[in-house]
Amino acid sequence: MARRGAVPGTAIPRCAPDDACARDARRAGGRLRAVARAALVLLAACARPPAPPTLDFWALGTEGESVAPLVRDFERAHPGVRVRLQAVAFSAAHEKLLTAVVGDATPDVAQLGNTWIPEFAALRALEPLDPRLARSAVVHRADYFPGAWATNVVDGRTFGIPWYVDTRLVFYRSDLMARAGVARAPESWAEWTDAMRRLRRVQPAGGAPALLPLNEFEPPLIILSQSGAPLLRDHDTRGNFRDPRVRAAFAWYVGLFRDGLAPPVASTQVSNVAQEFGAGRYAMYVTGPWNVGEFRRWMPDTLPPARRPAGPRWATMAMPGPTGAASGTSLAGGSSLVLFRGPGHDDPARRALAWQFVEFLSTTAAQARFAQLSSDLPARADAWAPAGFGADPQLAPFLTQLRRLTPLPSVPEWESIATRVTHAVERAARGTMTVDAALAALDAEVDDILEKRRWLLARRAAAAAPTHLSAR
């Protein structure tokens, strides 16, 4: 929900070149250039917003809509201050933010997917927050889920404050599970596969037990990191996908597609997941808390029994793991709040205000309120109870899962490596490559992506090593 203000630049500048140029062409040379320059300056000026005290805050996707009331609260608490909130579509957010960094057009405060933190830290676009944290009365590391906080730390410095967390686990049709004769939620891969096989018997034709969209990298990465092996090696400068433990996990995951337990589709091909889920065409879906609201809208089974319509039932469960519940880890997803630095962010008063805004959004009360507005899970464990999330049976498994997270490598190249992982899964799942060939190709691609990192680390090591030349 973008706010309506004076739209900058809607006044069409009267840069009519012919007024200025309506002179003898022979003497117009310098003038023409001046006009061109003036037109440029004018155009640029038309597009420049008015001066502070304003904060620019970019939030992504639905959070951009949900956070609006909190922004208004902050403005009420700080009269004269305006926070310009902008909702950036999540699908294009990554390149939009990068482009903004390169073009020196970043906001003061932004929501950043926590997996992007290393990248923006490498760009030196983020302010390290440790000095502010040391003085803060609101934000303390101990109040946050450790796995979620860790994603904000790069080389020992903290670049973001977790705003909300999410993690993926399994949404499933509990009524179909019961009908299929599965008594309790599966905890190991073996039990999980067995449950899927049974489910297939009670589903309508044309359905498949599990939906694991091929275009999303989180589900395969969850499974690969459950293997316990690191996904990168040599100081995160080479791929480690041919490690036997990773290979075993990959083979198991790909097997789900090959055995017809999961259809080889991308999420773009499923027009309405909740609707299809309600119709029983899928019975399990590895996804995150953002889908809870959507599923309730299509399958309202959380109403009190007296008013509950007859219809599909669903529940959530923590990720099964290779060897049982304890190994059923997932990934720390979610978003952080960051302060951008660089050109245009040199006013200390405005920066202090930006940090106040981050603190304002990080109090237990604000976290709880935001959770209710957005259905996002609070990053502070102490906000769960006031948000009313503690007693909710469909949300409780998330609390379990959030205490079982594995970190991913924190390298700037991670985004493109993750994309390559989906390609490898897709190739193996559709059978255009064997598991081993797909992993060998993946390792080769990842090594190639990380070549620059190897060189930079070598250069840094060379600079740190004393040479006899420098000792004159």
Partner 1 sequence: MTARPAATGRAGWWFVAPALALLAVFFVLPVLAGLALSVTDFDLYAVADPGATRLVGLRNYARLFADPAFRTAVRNTLYFAAVGGPLTVAASLGAALLVNARLVRWKAFWRTVFFTPFVTTLVAVAIVWRYLYHPRYGLVNYALGAVGVPPVDWLGDPRWAMPAIILLAVWKNFGYNMLIFVAGLQAIPAELYEAAALDGAAPWQRFRHVTLPGLAPTTLFVVVVTMIGYFQLFAEPFAMTQGGPLESTTSVVLLLYAEGFRFWRMGNAAAIAFVLFALVVTLALLQRVVQRSARQRSAA
Partner 2 sequence: MLLGAALLAGGAAAVFPMVWMVAASFMRTGEASTYPPHLLPRAPTLEHYRALFTRLDVGRYALNSLLVAALVTGLSLFVNAAAGYAFAKLRFRGRDRLFRLLGTALVVPTQVAMLPLFLLLKALHLVNTYAGVVVPAVASIFCIFLVRQYALSIPDDLLDAARVDGASEWRVFRSVVLPALRPALATMSIWTFLATWNDFLWPLIVLTDDRRSTLPVALAGLLGEHAQDAELMMAGSVLTVLPVLAVFLALQRYYLEGVTAGSVK
- Give the interface with partner 1 as residue ranges (CB under 8 A): 17, 25-26, 28-29, 32, 36, 94-95, 98-99, 101-102, 119, 122-125, 214-215, 265-266, 268-269, 271, 412-413, 415-416, 423, 426-427, 430, 432, 441, 445, 448, 452, 455-456
CB of 82 closer than 8 Å to CB of 54: yes
Q: Residue 26 or 468: which CB sits closer to partner 1?
A: 26
201 binds, among partner 2, partner 1, none (CB under 5 to 8 A by kind): none
Sign of the dihedral defined by the CA atoms of residues 142, 373, 340, 349, in that order? negative
**In the complex, what is the shortest distance from the CB of residue 94 to partner 1, in angstroms, rounded to a whole number?**
7
**In the complex, what is the shortest distance from the CB of residue 424 to partner 1, in angstroms, rounded to a whole number?**
11
Contact residues: partner 2, CB under 8 A: 1-2, 4, 7, 9-10, 12, 15, 17-18, 21-25, 28, 39-40, 43-44, 46-48, 61-62, 65, 86-92, 96, 99-100, 102-105, 268, 271-273, 275
**In the complex, what is the shortest distance from the CB of residue 210 to partner 1, in angstroms, rounded to a whole number?**
17
275 binds, among partner 1, partner 2, none (CB under 5 to 8 A by kind): partner 2
**In the complex, what is the shortest distance from the CB of residue 124 to partner 1, in angstroms, rounded to a whole number?**
5
**In the complex, what is the shortest distance from the CB of residue 71 to partner 1, in angstroms, rounded to a whole number?**
29
CB of 109 closer than 8 Å to CB of 351: no
Q: Two tokens at 433?
A: 């490559």
What are the angstrom distances between the C-alpha of 266 and each of 203, 346, 436?
A: 21, 44, 23
Q: Residue 235 or 308: which CB sits closer to partner 1?
A: 235
**In the complex, what is the shortest distance from the CB of residue 98 to partner 2, in angstroms, rounded to a whole number?**
9
9 binds, among partner 2, partner 1, none (CB under 5 to 8 A by kind): partner 2
Report which DSSP code applies to 94: H
441 binds, among partner 1, partner 2, none (CB under 5 to 8 A by kind): partner 1
Contacts of residue 425, Cβ cutoff 8 Å, sequence gap at least 6: 214, 220, 250, 253, 254, 438
Q: Residue 30 or 309: which CB sits closer to partner 1?
A: 30
CA distance 43 to 401: 52
Closest listed residue to residue 254, CA positions, set 42, 471, 437: 437
Q: Residue 89 or 352: which CB sits closer to partner 1?
A: 89
469 binds, among partner 2, partner 1, none (CB under 5 to 8 A by kind): none
What angle do the packed helices 244-258 and 218-226 form, to 10 degrees?
130
Q: Residue 88 or 402: which CB sits closer to partner 2?
A: 88
Q: Residue 234 or 448: which CB sits closer to partner 1?
A: 448
Report which DSSP code applies to 72: H
**In the complex, what is the shortest distance from the CB of residue 349 to partner 2, in angstroms, rounded to a whole number?**
23
Q: Two tokens at 220?
A: 């395969």
What's the one-letter identity of residue 373? L
Residue identified by tokens 């060998």 is 440
Q: Two tokens at 373?
A: 């507005």
Q: Residue 40 or 385: which CB sits closer to partner 1?
A: 40
Q: Residue 104 or 234: which CB sits closer to partner 1?
A: 104
72 binds, among partner 2, partner 1, none (CB under 5 to 8 A by kind): none
CB of 316 closer than 8 Å to CB of 398: yes
Q: Two tokens at 32?
A: 């023409």
Residue identified by tokens 């970019």 is 58
Tell me how crowded residue 107 is: count the other CB atoms within 10 A of its CB: 23
Q: Residue 194 or 455: which CB sits closer to partner 1?
A: 455
Helices within 322-434 (DSSP H only): 348-362, 364-374, 396-402, 414-429
3-state DSSP percent of the chain in helix, strand and coil, to 5: 50, 15, 35
Q: Two tokens at 290?
A: 């953002």
4 binds, among partner 2, partner 1, none (CB under 5 to 8 A by kind): partner 2
46 binds, among partner 1, partner 2, none (CB under 5 to 8 A by kind): partner 2
